[in-house]
Structure 1
Amino acid sequence: MRLSEADLAAFTRAWAIKLTEFGSVSGSVGEAALGPWLATELAADEAFGDSRCWSFPVALGDPRHCVAMLVRGSGRKTVILTGHYDTVTTEDYGALEPVATRPERLKEQLLERLSSGGAQTAAEQRALADLQSGNFLPGRGLLDMKAGLAAGLAACASFAADEQRGGNLLFLAVPDEEVNSVGARAAASLLPGIAQDLALDFVGAINLDAIADDQPDGANGRIIALGTIGKVLPTALVVGVHAHSGFPLAGINAGAIAGAIAARVEWAPELTDTDENGLPGTQPSLLSLRDSKTGYDVTTPALAFLTFNVLSSTQSPADVLDRFETLCGQAADALVATLRDRSKASRKPTVLHQPIALHRFEAVYTAACQADEQNTALLKARAEELAASTLPLPDQCRELTALAWNLSGLSGPAIVVGFGSVPYLPTRLSAGPAAQRLLASAQDLAAEAEATYGTQLTATAVFAGISDMSFLGEAEEAALGIVARNTPLWDAGVRWPADGGIADIPIVNLGPWGRDYHTPLERLHEPYAFDVLPRLLIDLSKRLLG
């Protein structure tokens, strides 16, 4: 018996609350426990019929699990419904943290706080109006993105109840999207084997991630994204010539060079991609800047390290590194010219007669290995040690870059550019038949949504946030060669699969919308998430399965 619209909405809401109440902050015990728990819960839910449920760890010895559920119909055609179940921290809720993952209780307490003088900012006033409208429900992870998972489960339940169903649905929930996407990367490497073992042909995938929208009517939140943006993290290790601060002209301050780079790269148009309308996209921005000093003294910093967030939909990683390296060189040259001019009055010698050299990490690593045959083993051992530490991946890359520099025999002042994190490649629907069928189906669904479901749905070229689509979708994995060579922890920390880490499945994003995710005001638009989204997912899946 097929589920009625009311039953479908109630089913979605119940699962959304259930998933949200199971706290799963990235890196927590809850994140590790949710996978096996969810697999057990899915297997016990009669709404999914005789579906097959299982989980698998993201890596040997890692407690985090991906969860899969296959709802069979007939034939080999299969659509994947996927999303992540980890969330950002709840610590930012302050006194409300005990109810941060209890949506109904949080709504009561948040309303009480905001309505009794707590709505001081424009964002808080907007949140108060939304909650008073009765259309929004707050909760950490409810919007990002457990309501999306719940809508996917509702689509699976509806599919299981259809006795005439053709094709198959594979539900896939993964951890760690908020950090390094180890869940999606593990799934991507295993999906070809799953397809072979279970006789499946993946004709498309639907990512269920959330959209944030500040428009009054939520028009910008009701979208189906036909691709996703990419992200890389360019880094620069700055090597200065340290000196006593009483004799600053005897050296060149690594912190000053780093500051010049930060100012030159921040919002640089050279690293700003354009959107599908030719308008500027997200500008690059400094994420961290630190020097090598661990305490106070009067010696200038010898080293500094910078990381930058760079998002792009058309720029390749090679383009980004080329442009970033050029910007670093321009910043260094401009600073040296300024310092030379300022030093003239002193008539004292400086180290500014030599330019600030530019190197890529791969060249420095090679120089270190050639300087002494033992250095290769030393660098690899240090990389494994760093990968096993609790340091964030960019800091691990900083440490190994500094070690490679020290072993290389090269001299400063210098700048070593590279990458410092897991790369997220942009995805687009290709010209292949499966991708073109997904493209046509998504566009038709958007065009017909208002007449069929009473809601506007817009097909847009790019999902603006980085997401697991980068690993599950159609991305140019060959573009990662330069990233691999210039990411210090590529082998030990990133651990990109040698046989490929991109699933290469046509994928779009169709998820819930709301406001202010990753903040204590995170809230979900209930009517769309619970009433409309499951039906849209069912419709799109059926179009793909024929």
Structure 2
Amino acid sequence: MKLSSRRIIELTKELVRIKSVVGTEEENRVSEKLYEVLSALPYYKEHPEDLFFVENLEDPHHRKSLMAVLQGQKEENRNAVVLIGHIDTVGISDYGALSPYATEPDFLPDKLKELDLPEAVQKDLESGAYLFGRGVLDMKSGVSMIAHLLETASESLSDFSGNLVACFVSDEEGNSRGMLSCVPKLVELKNKENFHYTVALDTDYTSTRTLHDRNRYLYAGTVGKLMPSFYIVGKETHVGDPFGGLDANELASELVRKINLNVALSDESMGEVTVPPVTLRQRDLKPEYSVQTNRDAEVYFNYATHGITPEKVLAQLKKEAEESFQSVITKLQSQYDVFTERMHLPKGTLPWKVLVMTYEELFLEVERTFKDLSGHMNAYAEKLLSQGITDEREVSMHMAKELTKISGRKDPLMLLYFSPPYYPHMAVTGETEVEKKLLNLLEGFTEESGPHPVVFRKFYPYISDLSYFSLPEQEAVDALKKNMPGFSISYKLPLEEIRNLSLPVANIGPYGFDAHQYTERIEIEYSFEKLPPIFLDTVLGLLEK
């Protein structure tokens, strides 16, 4: 059994030519194309029930994913490998005038030659060793490799032992509605067909880890993601009396300065270190122009995890926030002292005090005097949704604002909570026989010599749908739920089904550069020639009885 690099390239180009920007119904065109390709195979003509669409749950864009089951006939073997790949891409506006060619991999290179490109990109373009285009790397090449595996295995079912369950999912670049909608279907299939899922394999892209990294990577496990957020309340004042207030923007800016890209906050586990926290949004919430200083603001961060729990993240960032708050107060007092001295006016102590609370802490405080606070907050979340506020992060922020308002607190405050989405991390430790087999397989493909060593590492470093195949301990999930406003109303996770799966995960994906940039490109030799045999041998090894 062998995979054809030519066929994978052909499929990749076909899928890239289909524009499928996340958050649009265009995503359905890719799932429909894959259905067209796979339904033509004799296996699916004989077993049409094994190829079906999965509608995204509560999706305003009415998108759908595609699931494909293939059952080998060599022997009675209920082992099954779950294969996942996402069919959406980020937008194409970054291509500018070349946007019409962003999804045309055969024509885009000639158009790129007309631009003044970075030196490394220019070199790769001239080499002819790369394919360029939106989604060529992230991740229609990986999707094509999975689809071709189904094609190839279906041609020799009598020699194929075990089962494949492929999920071609939408919305991965957004809120992972595709994967989250497929998770219950995976549990249903497991029970119906008596499958023994061994592992979940993704074929998402890989790239350099640092600027001068020569390695190609195989990964077991995956990074997780939390979105610690702050609703910040200051004290408004007229700009002519700036020391009479406390600007929420200054509190937010100092918080960002202290947390953003602070490597001391990177999470480390099993010798692997996450990227540090990164600011994803900082904005004030004043709706109009006026000469009143800003009263409130919001900030949220991408926080990558390998082992740290939500509870520990809250404790860690609460401390950082308290120090940031104090830094602002100290600076303001210093500037006020200078100002009063230069104005020949009496000195005095500004009234501001550090106050940082978690959402759960404030909730418990308010609950002591507010009857049925949970019911009120849930009803408020439903009201926000009915008003057309459907972004889960917006709902969480407005709920944090509402809780602050009904608390009656008038002093400046930083309220710390989690915004959606949540991606659990998953470590493959080798504790089970399947994990040992997975680690041995991947370690067996490593190559230390040559210009581009193939290296095995723990934790796939990019946020992906691999997170939804296992959960941490219940205590960690509970801490998350208590500090994520809108959980179970505006943001839902199939927690029981995810825990039912509880699978080790791995990523065996193509290699290239500049995902999410107009210079996105995939290295042909590694991705289409060297990688497919590694992928195939891993799948076959994990299907063995």
Deviation for aligned residue 1:82: 1.0
> How far apart are the structure 2 equivalents of 1:19 and 1:477?
40
Identify if the C-alpha distance between structure 1 residues 477 and 184 changes in structure 2 by more than 3 Å, giving closer, same or farther. farther
1:218-233 residue pairs with structure 2 within 5 A? 219-220=214-215, 222-233=216-227
> How far apart are the structure 1 equivalents of 2:178 and 2:37?
20
Residue 461 (1) aligns with residue 458 (2) = yes
Residue 298 (1) aligns with residue 296 (2) = no
Identify if the C-alpha distance between structure 1 residues 214 and 522 changes in structure 2 by more than 3 Å, giving closer, same or farther. farther
> How far apart are the structure 2 equivalents of 1:249 and 1:535?
67
> How far apart are the structure 2 equivalents of 1:240 and 1:464?
37
> How far apart are the structure 1 equivalents of 2:33 and 2:438?
32
Q: Is 126-135 or 326-335 further displaced after alignment?
A: 126-135
Instruction: Look up the SS of the partner of 1:103 in the other structure.
Output: coil
Alignment partner of 1:165 out of 160, 169, 176: 160
> How far apart are the structure 1 equivalents of 2:245 and 2:408?
19
1:262 is matched with which residue?
256
Q: Is 530-539 or 341-350 further displaced after alignment?
A: 341-350
1:274-423 residue pairs with structure 2 within 5 A? 274=268, 276-277=270-271, 281-344=274-337, 346=340, 352-353=350-351, 355-373=353-371, 376-387=374-385, 389=388, 392-423=391-422
Deviation for aligned residue 1:76: 0.4
Alignment partner of 1:179 out of 170, 174, 191: 174
Q: Is 156-165 or 226-235 further displaced after alignment?
A: 156-165
> How far apart are the structure 1 equivalents of 2:37 and 2:455?
34
Q: Which amino acid in 1 is paired with 2:300?
A: T
Q: Which amino acid in 2 is paired with 1:466?
A: I
Alignment partner of 1:248 out of 226, 242, 253: 242
Which whole-Å deviations, capped at 9, do the CAs of 1:371-427 have from their partners, x for residues lacking one? 443765443233124346355332322222111111122232111001112111211
Deviation for aligned residue 1:157: 2.2
- Percent identity of the aligned residues? 24
Residue 20 (1) aligns with residue 16 (2) = yes
Which whole-Å deviations, capped at 9, do the CAs of 1:82-135 have from their partners, x for residues lacking one? 111110001111111112111112123223x14xxx22xx3xx22222122121
Instruction: Look up the SS of the partner of 1:81 in the other structure.
Output: strand
> How far apart are the structure 2 equivalents of 1:261 and 1:370?
30
Q: Is the 8 A contact 1:211 1:514 kept in 2?
A: yes
Q: Which amino acid in 2 is paired with 1:499?
A: E
Q: Is the 8 A contact 2:222 2:505 kept in 1?
A: no
2:103 is matched with which residue?
101
> How far apart are the structure 2 equivalents of 1:367 and 1:44?
61
Identify if the C-alpha distance between structure 1 residues 303 and 217 changes in structure 2 by more than 3 Å, giving closer, same or farther. closer
Q: Is the 8 A contact 2:38 2:151 kept in 1?
A: no
Residue 483 (1) aligns with residue 480 (2) = yes
> How far apart are the structure 1 equivalents of 2:539 and 2:143?
15
Q: Is the 8 A contact 1:24 1:87 kept in 2?
A: yes
Residue 54 (1) aligns with residue 52 (2) = yes
> How far apart are the structure 1 equivalents of 2:538 and 2:211?
27
1:149-160 residue pairs with structure 2 within 5 A? 149-160=143-154
> How far apart are the structure 2 equivalents of 1:297 and 1:398?
23
Q: Which amino acid in 2 is paired with 1:534?
A: P
Deviation for aligned residue 1:50: 4.8
> How far apart are the structure 2 equivalents of 1:99 and 1:445?
37
Which whole-Å deviations, capped at 9, do the CAs of 1:195-246 have from their partners, x for residues lacking one? 11122110112111001238999842x3210121111111111111212222
Which whole-Å deviations, capped at 9, do the CAs of 1:137-183 have from their partners, x for residues lacking one? 11101110010011112222222233321111111111111111122
Q: Is the 8 A contact 2:314 2:358 kept in 1?
A: no
Q: Which amino acid in 2 is paired with 1:237?
A: Y
Alignment partner of 2:490 out of 481, 488, 493: 493
> Which protein is richer in helix relative to its size?
1
Alignment partner of 2:539 out of 527, 538, 541: 541
Q: Is the 8 A contact 1:36 1:65 kept in 2?
A: no
Alignment partner of 2:93 out of 91, 94, 100: 91
Alignment partner of 1:10 out of 2, 6, 10: 6
Q: Which amino acid in 1 is paired with 2:207?
A: A
> How far apart are the structure 2 equivalents of 1:303 and 1:362?
20
RMSD: 2.8
Q: Is the 8 A contact 1:33 1:64 kept in 2?
A: no
Deviation for aligned residue 1:352: 3.6
2:517 is matched with which residue?
519
1:433 is matched with which residue?
433
Identify if the C-alpha distance between structure 1 residues 61 and 422 changes in structure 2 by more than 3 Å, giving closer, same or farther. closer
1:446 is matched with which residue?
446
Q: Which amino acid in 2 is paired with 1:223?
A: Y
Q: Is the 8 A contact 2:88 2:171 kept in 1?
A: yes
Q: Which amino acid in 2 is paired with 1:182?
A: R
Instruction: Look up the SS of the partner of 1:24 in the other structure.
Output: coil
Structure 1 gaps, min length 5: none
Deviation for aligned residue 1:506: 1.3
> How far apart are the structure 2 equivalents of 1:190 and 1:210?
25
> How far apart are the structure 1 equivalents of 2:251 and 2:349?
14
Identify if the C-alpha distance between structure 1 residues 20 and 441 changes in structure 2 by more than 3 Å, giving closer, same or farther. same
Alignment partner of 1:205 out of 195, 200, 203: 200
Q: Is the 8 A contact 1:369 1:408 kept in 2?
A: no
**TM-score, normalising length: structure 2:** 0.89
Deviation for aligned residue 1:455: 8.3
Identify if the C-alpha distance between structure 1 residues 326 and 135 changes in structure 2 by more than 3 Å, giving closer, same or farther. same
Q: Which amino acid in 2 is paired with 1:472?
A: F
> How far apart are the structure 2 equivalents of 1:286 and 1:455?
33
Q: Which amino acid in 2 is paired with 1:100?
A: A
Q: Which amino acid in 2 is paired with 1:309?
A: N
Instruction: Look up the SS of the partner of 1:462 in the other structure.
Output: strand
Deviation for aligned residue 1:365: 3.3
1:72 is matched with which residue?
71
Identify if the C-alpha distance between structure 1 residues 232 and 386 changes in structure 2 by more than 3 Å, giving closer, same or farther. same
> How far apart are the structure 2 equivalents of 1:217 and 1:375?
53
Q: Is the 8 A contact 1:79 1:541 kept in 2?
A: yes
Deviation for aligned residue 1:185: 2.0
Identify if the C-alpha distance between structure 1 residues 172 and 60 changes in structure 2 by more than 3 Å, giving closer, same or farther. same
Q: Is the 8 A contact 1:383 1:492 kept in 2?
A: yes
Deviation for aligned residue 1:481: 1.7
Identify if the C-alpha distance between structure 1 residues 178 and 256 changes in structure 2 by more than 3 Å, giving closer, same or farther. same
Deviation for aligned residue 1:478: 4.5
Q: Is the 8 A contact 2:470 2:498 kept in 1?
A: no
Deviation for aligned residue 1:528: 2.2
> How far apart are the structure 1 equivalents of 2:378 and 2:347?
41
Q: Is 468-477 or 178-187 further displaced after alignment?
A: 468-477
Identify if the C-alpha distance between structure 1 residues 488 and 217 changes in structure 2 by more than 3 Å, giving closer, same or farther. closer
